[in-house]
Structure 1
Amino acid sequence: MTDRRSFLQQASVGTLGLSLAPLLSSDPGSFQFPTSEGEAYWTELRKAFPLQDKRVYFNNGTFGPSPTPVLDTIKKQLDETNGTGEYGHTDKAREVLAAFVGVKTEELSLTHNTTEGINIVTWGLPLKSGDEVIVTLHEHVGNALPWLNRAKLHSIVLKPFEPGLTADENLSKIKALVTPKTKVIAIPHITCTTGLVLPIKEIAAWARSKSIFTAIDGAHGAGTFNLNLRELGCDFYATSCHKWMLGPNGTGFLYVRKELLDTLQAYQVGAYSDTGWDLYTNPPSMAAYVPTAHRYDYGSQSTPMYMGAAASAEFHSSVGKEKIEDRVKELSTLLFEGLSQFRQKLDLLTPAEASSRICMITFKPKNIGYKEFNTLGAKAGFRLRVVPESHLDAIRVSTHIYNSKAEVERFVEFVGETL
């Protein structure tokens, strides 16, 4: 279990190679990390979140509210940059985020959201007309549209499949779709529709043996799993900090395996993307791209927001990444098992296989419309998400560390009374 101090020490002498002062303020205001254990720990940790308690927030899959220490970091950085006029740099944030997911700093590009990272990969890969890309029928628009757009403009071929309910089934489905023309497997780590966890480590290892790129939509992966991208083995991984990492909106990052930096073409570039440029030569020249994933960054970036994102990574490490993964699974399992008793009244769309789910449970009421159920849920004080995507017409429930077992049990009781 990695605590805050060991995380920072590891960051400073391990992958980072320099000393970093903690981003979380040494004076964190009214919040102190709990020392209690068991359910009492999570009750105390809930006090870190200014999230209103007049309703139960079950929509972390869309947006994860930040805890006070993260908000304090953003406010402090805003005051500092606006007070000095020095808007700063994001180097420190990049270092912390890279260490958080177990990769080298030079493998991380700072983006504004998952979709931006996916677009960098979609357009940067060397694909030609007729090349095939495997996707699922359960893509978020942020992964679907970039690939659909490239298919429209460059005549690549998308091959979507309906995900199965087990890891083995999904690996087999992907293998069955592969042909000599298959160049990319572009799938989510966790589907936004049913919360299905795809076996990325196994898929990536098999794909690499076939010289097929793996481009992963990791919107729901960072902040749920005790994630190490090097161990996961994929080639590219795009994610956002504003969901399960509990960081600020407008922040995210893209992992590009170092060996593929010169394969993934940079098209949108700006300051620090290059090693030198000169408009006075004849012809005007640009020397080369920097030998890092920083080449994909472009334009001014918000130091306060990215420092807030890094602070969210520190918050997770202070609690313990493995501890958070276990808690997320615990709450989600409690919900899944609670809803399972109503199978005559609803269809559980999230897989029963424990390794194929982690943080979101999706179900479809049988005797009431999903929109009507959502309206009733809102009136009862539950913030849910409807899932019209993939023709599911269902309800999605996301649980994170600020939720409690009592809230899950109350929702299960509501479902039983409503359906």
Structure 2
Amino acid sequence: MVITPFTDEEIKKLRSETKGTQHRVHFNNAGSALPPDVVIDTVTGYLQEEAIFGGYETEAKYAAQLDNTYELIARLINAEKEEIALVENASVAWGTAFNGIDFKPGDEVITCEMEYVTNILGFLNAKKNHGVVIKVIPNDEQGNFSLPALEAALSPQTKLIAITHIASTAGGMVPIVAIGKIAQKHGILYLVDACQSAGQLPVDVKEIGCDMLSVTGRKYLRAPRGTGFLFVKKTFQDKLKLLFIDGFSAPTVSLDDFTPRNDARRFELYEKNRALTLGLSKAVEYALNIGIDRIWQRVQHLADTMRQQLSAINGVTVHDFGSEQCGIVTFSVNGVDSINVKNKLADKHINVSVGKAISTLIYMEKNHLVSNVRASVHYYNTVEEIGVMCNELSVLFVN
């Protein structure tokens, strides 16, 4: 497939539609990307209407647009509208899926060393409360997830494969499509954490073959904070326990029984922020209009450029590994605490983040890392901005 690259004029236009790019160099997209102006205008405009006309009345006016959010998300990940539930963030989405599984003592959960801390806590909680056994598949010597090791770890007790596609504090990627083929071959449940993936690169749940997938809005989708969604395959929805129930998730109720909704919205509750929902909708639409394949191509180009320039600086070590890498670039400056690097760059109006050991505990401990600097690029960033950051690093810490 031929992908049309961004032109300089297009990048200028996209940056002009994002106020934040005029004030800072923002390399913290894996934390919270700068939203397009249209997303902010959508949220604030809706809130203003609520203030004037009332919350329920404004919701009724925008009912079609709110409902269309599910259609847009379904397009984004190649799912069905009925397989999408809107939640506050990826942790809520992941927890709703994971804790809804009917675990029995001795059930095995297989995961990878790149798992996020919230997911690890979920595993430990299941181990404590249900007697679940946790198996971790380590990366090989090249830093890649080992598919043969996964096959070897499977047993009749394997209940779930739970994988984070892109880690919080590393630039490598886990082969979720290949893992999905193994899960399907053996009839094992498959949960994917795509928190850092959606909006950065193509995510196709049919290609992945997952039963559940969790996403947040604030990262590469450029949506407001406090937004996210959960995908649950239609054929699995009835098998997942409901952790919370209200009149929205179970609209048919008597004094003796209730019937949940017949779609993934059974995993939602009625009360949610409609303004943020429309903001998420607008952000997804914005990404789809640009083209996820195009976004992914540019993100890879910018991340590769950043790694090359950082590696050329004496005293800077890039920590990313694996045959496939993403828009997250992690590095350290010899002899300088990562928080100090972050703060010094912030003084120069350059946003980066600090990857803490707790965030990706298994990977960080294995590689003896206490922390690292995380610089994450998006399509609206430029090669010139990368040069600015690398120059500041050279001036601040090397010379």
The question of 1:320 aligning with 2:288 is answered: no
Note the C-alpha offset of 1:387.
1.5
Please report the RMSD computed on the Cα atoms of aligned residues, expressed in angstroms: 2.4
How many angstroms apart in 2 are the aligned matches of 1:61 and 1:332? 12
Higher helix share: 2
How many angstroms apart in 1 are the aligned matches of 2:116 and 2:99? 18
* More off after superposition, 215-224 vs 146-155: 146-155
Within a 5 Å distance, the mapping from 1:302-317 to structure 2 comes to: 302-317=273-288
The question of 1:348 aligning with 2:318 is answered: yes
Note the C-alpha offset of 1:192.
0.6
- The change in CA–CA distance for 1:105 and 1:165 in structure 2 (over 3 A counts) is farther
How many angstroms apart in 1 are the aligned matches of 2:140 and 2:321? 8
Note the C-alpha offset of 1:255.
0.5
- The change in CA–CA distance for 1:146 and 1:49 in structure 2 (over 3 A counts) is same
Per the normalisation by structure 2, the TM-score is: 0.88
Q: Do 2:143 and 2:321's aligned partners in 1 also have CA atoms closer than 8 Å?
A: no
The question of 1:285 aligning with 2:257 is answered: yes
Q: Do 2:6 and 2:294's aligned partners in 1 also have CA atoms closer than 8 Å?
A: no
**Which residue of 132, 138, 142 maps to 2:118?**
142
Q: Name the amino acid aligned to 2:321.
A: P
Note the C-alpha offset of 1:368.
2.6
Q: Name the amino acid aligned to 1:235.
A: D
Note the C-alpha offset of 1:202.
0.6
Note the C-alpha offset of 1:250.
1.2
Within a 5 Å distance, the mapping from 1:126-141 to structure 2 comes to: 126-141=102-117
In structure 1, list runs of 5 or more residues that go unmatched. 2-35
Q: Deviations over 1:194-241 (max 9, x none)?
A: 022111011011111112211111110110012222222211100011
Aligned to 1:362: 330
Q: Name the amino acid aligned to 1:136.
A: C
Aligned to 1:46: 15
**Which residue of 166, 181, 186 maps to 1:190?**
166
Percent identity between matched residues is 26
**Which residue of 75, 78, 97 maps to 2:44?**
75
Aligned to 2:374: 396
Q: Do 1:114 and 1:142's aligned partners in 2 also have CA atoms closer than 8 Å?
A: no
Within a 5 Å distance, the mapping from 1:144-293 to structure 2 comes to: 144-164=120-140, 169-279=145-255, 284-286=256-258, 288-293=259-264
Aligned to 1:383: 351
Aligned to 2:385: 407
Give the SS at the match of 1:350.
coil
How many angstroms apart in 2 are the aligned matches of 1:171 and 1:37? 35
Within a 5 Å distance, the mapping from 1:82-101 to structure 2 comes to: 82-85=51-54, 86-88=57-59, 89=63, 90-101=66-77
How many angstroms apart in 2 are the aligned matches of 1:117 and 1:38? 36
How many angstroms apart in 2 are the aligned matches of 1:191 and 1:136? 10
In structure 2, list runs of 5 or more residues that go unmatched. none
* More off after superposition, 406-415 vs 120-129: 406-415
Q: Name the amino acid aligned to 1:345.
A: G
Q: Do 2:110 and 2:135's aligned partners in 1 also have CA atoms closer than 8 Å?
A: yes
Per the normalisation by structure 1, the TM-score is: 0.84
Q: Name the amino acid aligned to 2:387.
A: E
Q: Do 2:249 and 2:270's aligned partners in 1 also have CA atoms closer than 8 Å?
A: no
Q: Deviations over 1:266-324 (max 9, x none)?
A: 22122232251013xxxx221x2222111111131222111110100111122222211
Q: Do 1:43 and 1:404's aligned partners in 2 also have CA atoms closer than 8 Å?
A: no
